[in-house]
Amino acid sequence: MLVSGILIAGCSSGSDQKMSIIELVPENDEVLVNEKTDIEIKTDPKDTALTASDFVAGKGKIEVDGNLAVFCASDTGTYTIKASKDGITSNPVSIKVVNAQSDSEKPKPEETTYDHKTSDHNKQNTSGQTNSTDRSSINNDGPL
C-alpha cells in the first residue's frame, strides 16, 4: 500500500510543474499563398498542450494538432508567429508567404543558336587563317 501511495504522489507532482519553455521549429521559412506548413511545438513539460488561441500569427491562420501547429496565409508578406501560455512566450518564427511565379516571371532557358558561318569545316585559327577540311578546295597542283 505504501508503494502505491508513493506512485500516486509521484504522478500528481508531475502535473504541478509550471511551464518553462515553448519552442517553435518551422518546417519552412518560405511558402506559397494558401500553402500549409508545419511548425513543431516543443514544450517543457512535454505534455503541455497548446491550442490555436495560444498563437499570434497576424492575418495568417493556425491550426493545432498535438505537437504540430499548421500555418497558412492567403496574403503575401512576412508573418511573425508566436505562442504564449501561462506567462511563457515562445521564440518568434518568421515565414514569408509569396505568390507562385507566373510563366512570364520565370527565368527563360538560354537559347542555343547555330551560326552557319562558323562550322567545323571552316574555322579560323588564332593567326587569322582559315582552316578548311573541305577536300574540294585543296589545291592539287603538285604530287602528294
The C-alpha cell that represents 90 in the structure block: 515562445
pTM over 0.75: no
pLDDT in tens, 81-93: 999 999 999 999 9
| Alpha carbon distance 73, 37 (integer Å) | 10
Question: Tell me, what's the pLDDT at 13?
Answer: 42
Looking at residue 19, its pLDDT comes to: 86
CA 89, CA 53: separation in Å to the nearest integer? 13
Give me the residue spans of the domains in the chain.
Answer: 18-98
**Residue stretches of the chain with pLDDT short of 70:** 1-16, 102-144
- 3-class secondary structure per residue, 27-61: CCCEEECCCCEEEEEEEECCCCCCCHHHEECCCCE
Distance CA 141, CA 38 (A): 82
For the domain made up of 18-98, give the CATH fold.
Immunoglobulin-like (2.60.40)
Tell me the residue length of the chain: 144
pLDDT of the residue at 1: 46
pLDDT recorded at residue 100: 84
